[in-house]
């Protein structure tokens, strides 16, 4: 057991070293360094319209102060939970709905017109109704994040099912496959790439929506933290909030990527 653990740790270490010295990591690191160099130059007045932006060093100091407060980490927790609730609910309801509309023509005839009528409504337009409909701000924000991801996942799943070659289904039926076998053996596996694409797009939209909803109706969260820094005229705090939102979105996307790679071992998500 101990030997297996040691070998596993050694394998992980080799993978980490290979990743650090890879050209992909090097290019990404150079891009990040270049971004901070440009930021520093702009804050020093070398670039137009950026002399009012605090330097990276000032923002790093503000970051350190924020990280020492419980409010900062509570904001992370609250926003993450809201995104998780909305995103998971969107997958639970959106994937079956998209599969149903793509698989059954009668079901699509009943549901698609109403779906298309509601889809163009921006998630933030749901804020007033959500506040009236749901008993607490917390549930209303989670509902708005759900709306942000729901329509995206349904459209992607529906497109994935519609793209399946009809000849493939006909061939399976001609060999005696039942509708259940066709669904589980052909339709669902062929739709997985579209489901993962919808999840990737949806998680980004969910973070965009939750931040805006927290600024409008929330009392906590990274969006509220950023908005309060704006009201206080604390520019480094605003940038701390923005960077935190970016990091949260990146981590969430990587988590979805891991799920996608697990669902599609034959194909990397990106």
pLDDT confidence bin for 99, thresholds 50/70/90: very high
In this predicted model, what pLDDT tens digit does every residue of 64-91 receive, in sequence order? 999 999 999 999 999 999 999 999 999 9
Angle at 200 between CA 86 and CA 254, to 5 degrees: 95
pLDDT confidence bin for 269, thresholds 50/70/90: low
Res 101: pLDDT = 92
Mean pLDDT, residues 197-206 taken together: 90
- Please tell me which residue, 138 or 15, carries the higher pLDDT value: 138
Q: In the predicted model, is pLDDT for residue 6 greater than 80?
A: no
Res 75: pLDDT = 93
In this predicted model, what pLDDT tens digit does every residue of 153-196 receive, in sequence order? 999 999 989 888 888 888 888 888 888 888 888 888 889 888 99
Q: What does the alpha-carbon distance between residue 174 and residue 153 come to, in Å, rounded to a whole number? A: 32
Res 80: pLDDT = 93
Res 79: pLDDT = 92
Summary mean pLDDT of the chain: 86
The DSSP code sequence of 122-142 is -GGGGHHHHHHHSSSHHHHHH
Torsion of CA 68, 69, 71, 75, to 10 degrees: 0
- Please tell me which residue, 49 or 152, carries the higher pLDDT value: 152
Tokens 């394998």, residue located: 11
Res 133: pLDDT = 83
In this predicted model, what pLDDT tens digit does every residue of 26-54 receive, in sequence order? 888 889 899 888 888 888 877 777 777 88
Q: In the predicted model, is pLDDT for residue 11 greater than 90?
A: no
* Residue from 268, 229, 246, 235 nearest 32 by CA: 246
């Amino acid at each position: 057991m101990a030997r297996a653990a040691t070998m596993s740790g050694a394998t992980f270490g080799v993978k980490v070293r290979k990743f650090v010295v890879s050209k992909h990591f090097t290019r990404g690191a150079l891009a990040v360094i270049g971004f901070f160099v440009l930021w520093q130059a702009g804050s020093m007045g070398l670039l137009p319209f950026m002399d009012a932006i605090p330097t990276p060093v000032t923002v790093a100091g503000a970051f350190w102060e924020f990280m020492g407060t419980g409010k900062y980490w509570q904001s992370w927790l609250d926003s993450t939970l809201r995104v998780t609730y909305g995103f998971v609910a969107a997958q639970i309801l959106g994937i079956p709905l998209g599969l149903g509309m793509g698989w059954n023509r009668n079901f699509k005839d009943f549901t698609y017109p109403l779906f298309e009528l509601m889809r163009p409504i921006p998630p933030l337009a749901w804020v007033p109704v959500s506040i009236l409909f749901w008993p607490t701000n917390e549930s209303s924000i989670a509902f708005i994040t759900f709306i942000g991801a729901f329509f995206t996942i349904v459209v992607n799943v529906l497109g994935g099912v519609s793209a399946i070659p009809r000849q493939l289904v006909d061939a399976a039926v001609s060999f005696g496959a039942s509708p259940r076998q066709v669904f589980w053996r052909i339709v669902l596996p062929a739709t997985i790439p579209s489901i993962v694409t919808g999840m990737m797009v949806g998680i980004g939209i969910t973070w965009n929506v939750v931040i805006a909803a927290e600024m409008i109706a929330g009392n906590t969260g990274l969006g509220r933290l950023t908005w309060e820094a704006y009201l206080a005229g604390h520019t480094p705090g605003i940038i701390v909030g923005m960077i935190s939102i970016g990091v949260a979105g990146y981590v969430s996307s990587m988590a979805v990527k891991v799920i996608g790679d697990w669902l599609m071992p034959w194909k990397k998500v990106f």
